[in-house]
Amino acid sequence: MKMEFREPEIKYVTEKGKPQAVILSLKDYERLLNAFEDLRDIQSAERRRNEPSIEYSTYRKKRLANTKSRR
């Protein structure tokens, strides 16, 4: 999937001439959040790159056990 990048349209809120906040469209905000989440996922995968792999069935059992213990 090819992602098209475009600069978000940002409006700055200033106080005494210094930027204090930004205003951007909801669409641009959601794009930025999605990009941040993608980067966070990539970083997580990179950290786990050298971990040993496990069978899905083993993972699922552990995951279900953790879910039940939280209730």
The residue extents of the domains of the chain are 10-70
For 16, list phi and psi in degrees, rounded to 5.
55, 40
pTM flag (> 0.85)? no
Nearest to 32 by CA among 1, 59, 6, 67: 6
* Predicted confidence band of residue 2 (pLDDT cuts 50, 70, 90): low
Please spell the DSSP secondary structure of 36-59, one letter per residue. Answer: HHHHHHHHHHHHTTTSPP--HHHH
pLDDT, average across residues 28-46: 94
The pLDDT assigned to 7 comes to 83
pLDDT, average across residues 42-66: 91
Gap between the Cα atoms of 14 and 27, Å rounded? 23
